[in-house]
Structures are given as C-alpha cells and as structure tokens.
Chain A
Amino acid sequence: DAGVIQSPRHEVTEMGQEVTLRCKPISGHDYLFWYRQTMMRGLELLIYFNNNVPIDDSGMPEDRFSAKMPNASFSTLKIQPSEPRDSAVYFCASRLRWGGEAFFGQGTRLTVV
C-alpha cells in the first residue's frame, strides 16, 4: 500500500476563496482523522470518522470548515471562505483499529493570502 495520500501538497489561495483538501486513507482502515498543525497550537484534531461516519467534529473551528467521507477510500476537508488565519499544515491520518498506529499523510501546506 502507498500509505495515506493527500493532495495537493501545497496550496496558495486568496482570502475568500474555497479550498478543498483531499485524502485517500490506507485500504481497510476504519478510522480517518483530520488534523491541523501550526507552530502556535501544535497538532489539533479537527474531526474524525469511523466507517465513513463523522464521530466527533468538535475540533472544527467554525462553520467555514466542513468534512466529508463519501466512501471508505476518500475524504475531503473544505474551507469556504478561506481566511489568512487558516494558514497551516493539514494532515490526514488513518488507523486500522482503535488503539493501533495512526498513519499520517505528508500533509497539505495551506497558505491563505
């Protein structure tokens, strides 16, 4: 397996634009997590899914953020409209079972200007 695949690796967009980040988890993994990493706040959990169902989205900063997992092999994180304070590295991770290792993608570095 190629691991968790995220796209794009880098995204630069203007304030107010819609941004969509994509993630392909490892095949067979039941859990998918979206994290945001900044120097100030570290690695923050935004939302996680179990068997494609959103379980906890309490970490989503505000209504501008939304996440979907239409099937077991694909998830998106959308920001609309984007703001400069959304600039961060966004990671997707998947996990086979509860308590197991979380495998991370290489992240998407988002810059909103």
Chain B
Amino acid sequence: TQLLEQSPQFLSIQEGENLTVYCNSSSVFSSLQWYRQEPGEGPVLLVTVVTGGEVKKLKRLTFQFGDARKDSSLHITAAQPGDTGLYLCAGARQGAQKLVFGQGTRLTINP
C-alpha cells in the first residue's frame, strides 16, 4: 500500500491545455515536496510546502498543500511540451524522518 497516492498515473494532453495532478494520503505530513524526473536522470526538486493551505507558484505551475496537510495538488496552466516528464510528490510524516515518494504521474504534452 502506497503511503502517498498520486492520480492520475498517466496523463497525455495537448499543448495549451490546463491540468491538475493530485497527491493524497490518510497521514499528516510535516512537509510535502514535488519533484520532476526526466528519462535517465534523478528527480529534481520543484517546490516544498510546509503550511496547511499554502499555495506556491512557479511560473505556470501552482502547488497547493491541503489544509489538513494530508494532500497536495499541482496545477499546470497552458501546458507546453517542455513540461513532459514524471512528476513525483514526496513527504515525511509528522514524527518520522523517512522521505517517501508517491508512484508518480507520467505527463506527456503533445505539440
């Protein structure tokens, strides 16, 4: 059983469309991170959210941490082919030190 459930697992859309990826858990997290991974490389950090209800923006990407700190979402506006990749959420539960990852959302943006 995955501690962090991501949905959808696969998403293929056209350039210019908007999309949202979700990361859900029944556990409370002290912080949650989003990473992006390209083929043949390790994941690279995009953002860290630590406060319930927090919203962070990174150009066309908007990240939100749920009020109860159990879930998070990543919204991409006007997706571009360069956004293609594997998006992973990761977090450590309160009182624990393990950094665990969701299974990822494999995003493909078609020109």
Q: Which residues of A contact B (CB under 8 A)?
A: 4, 33, 35, 41-45, 48, 50, 55-56, 91, 93, 95, 98-99, 101-102, 104-107
- B59 on interface, CB distance cutoff 8 Å: no
Question: Would B42 and A101 count as touching, CB distance under 8 A?
Answer: no
> Whole-angstrom distance between the alpha carbons of A56 and B103 in the complex?
21
B residues neighboring A (CB under 8 Å): 2, 30-31, 33, 40-45, 48, 50, 88, 90, 92, 97-104
Q: How far is the CB of A95 from chain B (nearest CB, A)?
A: 8
Residues of chain A within 8 A of B48, CB atoms compared:
99, 101
Number of inter-chain CB pairs below 8 Å: 57
Q: Is the CB of B30 within 8 A of A42?
A: no
B6 to chain A: closest residue by CB: A42
Q: How far is the CB of A10 from chain B (nearest CB, A)?
A: 10
Contacts of B40 in A (CB 8 A): 106-107
Contact A104 B44 (CB under 8 A): yes
Q: Please state if B43 and A43 are interface contacts (CB–CB under 8 Å).
A: yes
B45 near A42: Cβ-Cβ < 8 Å: no
**Which residue of B is nearest A58, CB measured?**
B98
CA distance A24 to B62 in the complex (A): 33
4 more A-B contacts (CB under 8 A) besides A91-B42, A106-B42?
A48-B98, A56-B97, A99-B31, A99-B92
